Structure 1
Amino acid sequence: MDSTKRERCIQKARELAVEYQGTLVGCGHCSFAAALDALRMEGIELVPEEIEEELFKGVLGLTGGIGNLGVGTCGAVSGASFAISLACNIGPKELAPNKALRWIPYYYVKEGLLKPWMEKYGGITCRETQLKIFGIAINSRMPANNKALFEEAQRLKCRNASRCTIANAAALATQTILDIIENPKELKWIGIDEETTIANLLDMIEHPDDPKWKNA
């Protein structure tokens, strides 16, 4: 995919996230669906639409710090993590003979989503994200507080493709998935055993400019 299409796809994920937040309401499922749908519009289908609809049902409860409690991982982060992990395409059949393969989605979720998210918001929980944006964390466990949350977001003009946290999560997920597709790890950092794999992965993260990891 050329750079123009790549940027268009990432921007579309942002726009869909804002659109879905207005129609489907919820950070987890909206970030997940926005990433997958933006990719599909560029001809990249991680799963058929009917399967995406089934997966959507499972992501729904992750919204609002999981179960709308506000104390768990930000729903947008959870939904985006789900999308990235899905793109890694590692299932039971792949994992059973080589358990070290589980480090591939760990790596992409952390490097592509969690690290930039923590740099921007100071943490990955719903509470930490709210504190960074609003200066307060609104207790969304009380239905009446949802109105206050939406009003605060509107006051700060958060509901747009460049500022919305759901849009940011969807964009990071889309960007990471494109990286997975366009430049997949050749598993050169996957060792013959788990101990070697972990040592190699940590070395690559700590010394990314080392020539031995250049084409890894």
Structure 2
Amino acid sequence: MLNSQLILNQSLVEDEWIFVALPSGNEEVKKQAGKVVLFKLTGESLPTDLQINETVIPQTGKIILPLSVYLKNHDALQARVKNNEIALWVATHETLDTLLALEKDINIFPLIAVYVERFQDGRIFTLGNLLRTRYQFKNTLRAFGDVLQDQLFYLKRSGFDSYLIKTGKDANEALKALQSFSDPYQGAVDVKEPVWKRIVRS
């Protein structure tokens, strides 16, 4: 049995990507000018300039970069983007506006990962849906962080096809959650038409 916590297309696979995390920010950094409003409203801060500048980018391999770090180092990373070595991760409270203004086609990235720090609302479902429908992202869409087993089927319906299961959780059990319903009733990203349009009655 494969010892992996990564699900891709309903199978356990080895992760070929190197995840690049932001350095931890302390309370003072979180409440710098321009960050305090968001932090007070949601408890979630955007990455600070200090965190972005101190992020170490591996010089080789396929890497998943924080969106803010990619934007900061955009020009220097273009050769690696062309070699399919750069993927992005974005937190559910971040916006994609700057990225979409910069890149004509986000399918230059073979993978986009969406991070849930702690599950408390449906933003990850909305973001997955937007990436697949409005922004026409066709490559691997991964969910990671505080992703719960009973959410996986609905994440799949929202356009995700990859899930990094938290350490300590049974990835094989999580796989079963993707088959919670054999034939979904409503139309969504994965199956466009509702069941009453798909089934021909005699």
Q: Bin the TM-score by the shorter chain.
A: under 0.3
Higher relative contact order (CA 8 A, sep 6+): 1
Q: Which has the higher helix share?
A: 1
TM-score normalized with structure 2 length: 0.27
Q: Which has the higher strand share?
A: 2
